[in-house]
């Protein structure tokens, strides 16, 4: 077939151009095979699923299956499904004639309006081109979703014009028919009412729809994909068995296998580039007049301080989340989202950034004192088995978060130093020494305070060397010194109290 240099705008031009009709699932299958042969990445930015989830997902696409991603919250299910749109052709032709509401292939029209347009206009049937971004629709399942939202409803205005109820032209179609020639995703499928799930049977099995008991024969050409929490998480509902039976492949997702993998995931998702700023594409349009008087000036650029995130501090954050995922005090059927570690990482970096602005430092390092704001990032992200506030006003959630953080410090720092190597550092505190450290103290001032503790700075230097950190930087050195003090505290060699001035270490 000879392809013309110009973009086809009519059916006859499209035929001369060499267009070949393929179903959506065949299109996905061929494009996946093409990428596999070329060695191209299919799901960029997805880390930790290379040998587990992605092979099953690819196999499901190659099999032409409708897909269900099953996993706890924060396991990139929605992200994976949204990236499937990149496996579609960049542009496809659809019938552009008036009255053809649903996307329909010109060579193989499946709607009555599409077939009628081709019969009437023949080779002059107008063609429009649809980008793959317009071929992806998703719906968050909620109990109030109706059949009309997903499948459609009778349009009484069109019926009043004299059209028959069983005529598809009388219908106002929902999201599923409007996703014809594309991908339709339902997130959190168990939240969909059982009777609505039943309404999806025909779409999955026969690829047609029924509206108010009228069989509307639409040979829908689309790929259906779903996401859901495991069925043992039944706060709101389940996937009804007949619907689950009609889903081709069920792929289980999971949390990161180890801390190194978790660090790679959160580093790629968190707001770490503070100098680059927060990116947001949405814009607010102001339609009013400019204020009277004065003059307008462009905002002056801000040069934020540079914040260094030691790997050991990142390890402590990820270890805290790992501890939470095994804690008997947390509902493990709900899970602990990766968003928890992302938010915690961003909060501790912001704490260090705030300190640098207040102290006038151009460069600072995240220190253990910054984790005092850890709870703000994790509140609401942990579903406790039992929650009750204590008499001093602290919540069970906050106390659990700080306990998990302490266990993380014990585990991570313990990989680099033994308690017997540093327990002598607690001796001066037995003579009445008190050391106050807070998140507003500069690195230089923190190091100066630590020099009052015999051998603390030399031990901090040794820890920096084990961690491959630059101990000549006072911010880094103060981080190492605080880690040693925290290590002594979580091993019951020191006491620690909190006040307005921050943490006070004593014996």
Supply the pLDDT for residue 320. Answer: 95
Name which residue leads in pLDDT, 88 or 167: 88
Distances (CA, A) of 386 to 382, 397, 443, 461: 11, 9, 40, 43
User: In angstroms, what CA-CA distances link 373 with 174, 343, 370, 376, 504?
Assistant: 45, 11, 6, 6, 16
Q: What is the mean pLDDT of residues 268-281?
A: 79
Strand partners, 68: 226, 250
CB-CB contact of 156 with 182 (8 Å): no
The C-alpha angle 504, 505, 507, rounded to 5 degrees, equals 135
- C-alpha–C-alpha distance, residues 314 and 316, integer Å: 5
- Per-residue confidence band for 156, with pLDDT thresholds at 50, 70 and 90: low
Identify the pLDDT of residue 302: 82
Residues paired with 275 in a beta bridge: none
pTM as predicted: 0.83
Please state, in angstroms and rounded to a whole number, the distance separating the CA atoms of residues 186 and 67: 11
Confidence of residue 100 (pLDDT cuts 50, 70, 90): confident
Give me the CATH code for the 11-252 domain, please. Answer: 3.40.50.300
| Confidence (pLDDT) at 499 | 66
Q: Mean pLDDT throughout 106-115?
A: 89
Q: Which has more confidence, 132 or 4?
A: 132
- Residue 284: predicted pLDDT: 52
pLDDT band at 131 (very low <50, low <70, confident <90, very high): very high
Residue-level length of the chain:
507
166 pLDDT higher than 60? no
Sign for the CA dihedral angle at 103, 105, 108, 109 comes to: positive
> What is the number of alpha carbons within 13 Å of residue 64 lying toward its C-beta?
9
Summarize the confidence of residues 182-195 as an average pLDDT. 89
Task: Report, as an integer, the average pLDDT of 178-204.
Answer: 85
Residue 55 has, within 13 A of its CA and on its CB side, a CA count of 4
Is the per-residue pLDDT at 4 higher than 70? no
Answer yes or no: is pLDDT of 444 > 80: yes
Please give the pLDDT value at position 296.
67
CA neighbor of 332 nearest in space, from 405, 406, 399, 384: 384
At 214 the pLDDT is: 59
Other C-beta atoms closer than 10 Å to the C-beta of 469 total 21
Average pLDDT score, the chain: 86
**Looking at the DSSP assignment, which residues form a beta bridge with residue 92?**
130
Strands 182-187 and 222-228: parallel
Residues of the chain with CATH 3.40.50.300: 11-252
| Phi, psi dihedral angles at 269 (to 5 degrees) | -115, -25
3-state secondary structure (DSSP) of residue 83: helix
Work out the number of other CB atoms within 10 angstroms of the CB of residue 356. Answer: 21
Four-CA torsion 290, 291, 296, 298, nearest 10 degrees: -70
Q: To which residue do tokens 């709900």 refer?
A: 334
* Residue 213 confidence (pLDDT) above 80: no
Q: Residues 6 or more apart from 41 whose CB is under 8 A from it?
A: 35
pLDDT score at 196: 82
Check: CB of residue 503 under 8 Å from CB of residue 372: yes
pLDDT over 70 at 453, yes or no: yes
Helix/strand/coil for 357:
helix
Position 341 scores a pLDDT of 93
In degrees rounded to 5, what are phi and psi of residue 17? -70, -25
393 falls in which pLDDT band (50, 70, 90)? very low
Give the range among 178-192, 311-325, 370-384 with minimum mean pLDDT. 370-384
Rounded Cα distance between 490 and 62, Å, is 52
């Amino acid at each position: 077939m000879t392809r013309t240099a110009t973009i086809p705008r009519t059916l006859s031009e499209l035929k001369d151009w060499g267009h070949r009709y393929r179903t959506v699932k065949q299109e996905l299958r061929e494009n996946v095979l093409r990428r596999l042969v070329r060695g191209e990445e299919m799901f960029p930015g997805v880390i930790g699923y290379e040998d587990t989830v992605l092979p099953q997902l690819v196999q499901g696409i190659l099999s032409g299956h409708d897909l269900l991603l099953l996993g706890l919250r924060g396991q990139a299910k929605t992200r994976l499904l949204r990236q499937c749109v990149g496996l579609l052709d960049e542009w496809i032709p659809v019938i552009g004639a008036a009255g053809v509401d649903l996307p329909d292939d010109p060579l193989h029209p499946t709607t009555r309006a599409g077939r009628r347009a081709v019969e009437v206009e023949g080779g002059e049937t107008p063609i429009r081109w649809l980008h793959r971004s317009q071929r992806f629709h998703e719906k968050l399942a909620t109990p109030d979703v109706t059949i009309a939202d997903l499948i459609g409803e009778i349009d009484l205005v069109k019926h009043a014009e004299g059209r028959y109820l069983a005529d598809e032209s009388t219908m106002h179609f929902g999201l599923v028919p409007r996703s014809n020639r594309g991908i339709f995703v339902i997130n959190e499928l168990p939240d969909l009412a059982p009777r609505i799930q039943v309404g999806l049977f025909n779409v999955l099995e026969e690829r047609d729809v029924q509206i108010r008991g009228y069989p509307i024969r639409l040979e829908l050409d689309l790929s259906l994909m779903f996401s859901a929490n495991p069925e043992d998480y039944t706060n709101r509902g389940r996937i009804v068995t007949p619907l689950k039976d009609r889903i081709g492949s069920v792929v289980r997702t999971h949390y990161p296998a180890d801390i190194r993998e978790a660090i790679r995931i959160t580093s790629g998702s968190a707001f770490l580039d503070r100098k680059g700023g927060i990116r947001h594409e949405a814009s607010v349009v102001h339609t009013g007049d400019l204020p009277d008087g004065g003059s307008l000036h462009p905002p002056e650029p801000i040069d934020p301080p540079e914040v260094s995130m030691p790997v050991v501090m990142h390890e402590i954050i990820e270890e805290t989340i790992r501890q939470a995922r095994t804690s008997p005090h947390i509902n493990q059927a709900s899970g602990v989202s990766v968003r928890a570690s992302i938010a915690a990482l961003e909060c501790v970096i912001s704490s260090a950034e705030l300190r640098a602005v207040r102290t006038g430092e151009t460069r600072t390092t995240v220190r253990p004192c910054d984790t005092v704001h850890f709870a703000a990032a994790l509140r609401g992200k942990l579903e406790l088995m039992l929650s009750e506030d204590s008499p001093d006003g602290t919540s069970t959630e906050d106390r659990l978060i700080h306990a998990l953080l302490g266990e993380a410090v014990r585990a991570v720092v313990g990989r680099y130093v033994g308690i017997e190597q540093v327990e002598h550092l607690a001796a001066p505190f037995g003579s009445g020494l008190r050391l106050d450290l807070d998140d507003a103290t500069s690195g230089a001032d923190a190091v100066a305070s630590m020099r009052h503790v015999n051998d603390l700075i030399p031990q901090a230097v040794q820890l920096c060397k084990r961690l491959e950190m630059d101990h000549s930087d006072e911010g880094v050195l103060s981080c190492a010194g605080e880690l040693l003090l925290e290590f002594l505290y979580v091993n019951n060699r020191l006491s620690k109290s909190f006040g307005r001035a921050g943490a006070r270490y004593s014996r």
